[in-house]
Amino acid sequence: MQLGLRNFGVNLVHLAPGAHSSERHWHERQDEFIYVLEGEVTLVTDAGAHVMGPGMCAGFPAGRPDGHHLINRTDAIAVYLEVGDRLPGERVHYPDADLAGRASNPATRFFHKDGTPYEPA
């Protein structure tokens, strides 16, 4: 269903057992919010690892250089909502990888930290 919204996005994510949501990352301009609906995920940030279950949420303010991601360390699928803005010119940083992202229409383009284009293997 298309609602015509342009300034934020909501994703319903099903995270398989053993899977990661992404590389650890943080956004320069985008606030990000997650809300766990089913199962259990482990939130990994610079502060460490924290288990989250249904009804728990976390927020990641724009511009705070604290890389985060979720890991499903259980044997069951975990389900959560992921909410963020869709700001033009957004930059995403990946502290544990030689990777950076830049938002451009219609999608994010990826680069190495030295600015050369990232070509997936």
- Give the list of residues 6+ apart from residue 61 with CB closer than 8 angstroms, or none: 31
pLDDT value for 25: 95
The residue among 59, 98, 107, 62 whose CA lies nearest residue 82 is: 59
Identify whether the C-beta of residue 84 lies closer than 8 Å to the C-beta of residue 33. yes
Task: Give me the average pLDDT of each 10-residue run along the chain (121 residues).
Answer: 75 97 94 98 98 98 96 98 85 88 75 83 68
CATH architecture of 8-111: Sandwich (2.60)
- Judge residue 80's burial from the number of C-beta atoms within 10 Å of its C-beta, 0-12 exposed, 13-18 middle, 19 or more buried: buried
Could you tell me the residue ranges of all domains in the chain?
Answer: 8-111
- Residue (of 40, 37, 36) closest to 72 by Cα position: 40
Confidence at residue 1, expressed as pLDDT on a 0 to 100 scale: 63
Query: Distance between CA atoms of 70 and 42, rounded to whole angstroms?
Result: 5
Query: DSSP label at 19?
Result: -
pLDDT value at position 3? Answer: 72
